[in-house]
Amino acid sequence: MHKGAKVYVAGHKGLVGSAILRKLQAEGYSNIVTRTHQELDLTNQQEVYRFFETERPEYVFLAAAKVGGILANSTYPAVFIRENLLIQTNIIDAAYRYGVKKLLFLGSSCIYPKFAPQPIKEEHLLTGALEPTNEPYAIAKIVGIKMCQAYNKQYGTNFISVMPTNLYGPGDNFDLETSHVLPALIRKFHEAKVAGAPHVVVWGSGTPRREFLHVDDLADACLFLMNNYDSSEIINIGVGKDLTIAELANLIKEIVGYKGEIVFDTSKPDGTPRKLLDVSKLFNLGWRPRIRLEDGIRSTYEWYMQNYT
């Protein structure tokens, strides 16, 4: 991907898209195309076709998606499956029709079976039942993967699919109803600290294990793969190690400087017991993450303080 190539970042306002945009700009890519949701409705096929016909991007990072945590996925399953299917179908098809040289599709680690062997290898896709709380979202993402593979097979396109682990970082969603666990905990501990609350309630038992990747590391991996990977086979992006939700909560508590207690509400769902990605395929290509979890949480908390409080 040469520095003057026309690159379209779909979803540039979101957590992932904004990180990819920052990375491209930092690396000297000067011909980047973006559109806000108000300027271009990605669920509208005719609007998307018109945009691709006019702009003719050479490369596409497909980071636009309807995303959320357990509560949002459980509450709005129809919205999650419909919007994600429409967005990715419209962009993938337009990329083929209007001659895009290469497209990178952002999947999610939730595509894998709930009880997949750990760490999860790419070939574990479709070998078991999904986690029920985010099944509609996961199925939409699986359709996106299969669509990229089908277009490559039938039309000779170069569409690659990457599966990131749990993400966090600047630009994250800190809404307690729709956010993922890490930003939700940052907000909970900060608000409890400010209010002098005696305890913070954390959903579930605290025993599930999760892996967390800073979104700037993800963006770095995406650019690396756009330049170094051309297979239809999906590829995991992660750090290769995990920790329990209880360990995460204690780490965030320490970084925020909250002095109260942590109470685990076991009436709330735990979700998947463990979700660690096997990242040997990516590491063997020569990529490694750079941001330590503690440093990443610290900088994310600083971003939250500047932008939310």
Which segments are annotated as binding site for NADP(+)? 11-17, 106-109, 141, 164-167, 180
What letter does residue 118 receive in the DSSP assignment?
A: S
CA dihedral 228, 98, 219, 138 (to 10 degrees): -100
Give CA–CA dist 270/69, Å, rounded.
Answer: 12
Q: 285 in the Ramachandran plot: left (φ > 0), alpha (ψ -120 to 50) or beta?
A: alpha
Contact by Cβ (8 Å): 207, 245: yes
Known catalytic residue at 151? no
Instruction: List CB contacts of 138: < 8 A, sequence separation 6 or more.
Output: 108, 110, 111, 130, 131
Please, which contacts does 14-17 make with residues 24 or more away whose CB atoms are closer than 8 Å? 14/63, 14/64, 14/65, 14/67, 14/171, 15/67, 15/167, 15/169, 15/171, 15/172, 15/173, 15/215, 16/63, 16/106, 16/164, 16/167, 16/215, 16/218, 16/219, 17/61, 17/63, 17/64
What residues are designated binding site for substrate?
188, 203, 210, 270
Q: Give the number of residues written for the chain.
A: 309
Of 8, 137, 258, 301, the catalytic one is 137
- What sign does the dihedral 120-122-124-126 (CA atoms) show? positive
Task: Of 199, 203, 161, 162, give the one whose Cα is nearest residue 182.
Answer: 203
The catalytic residues are 137
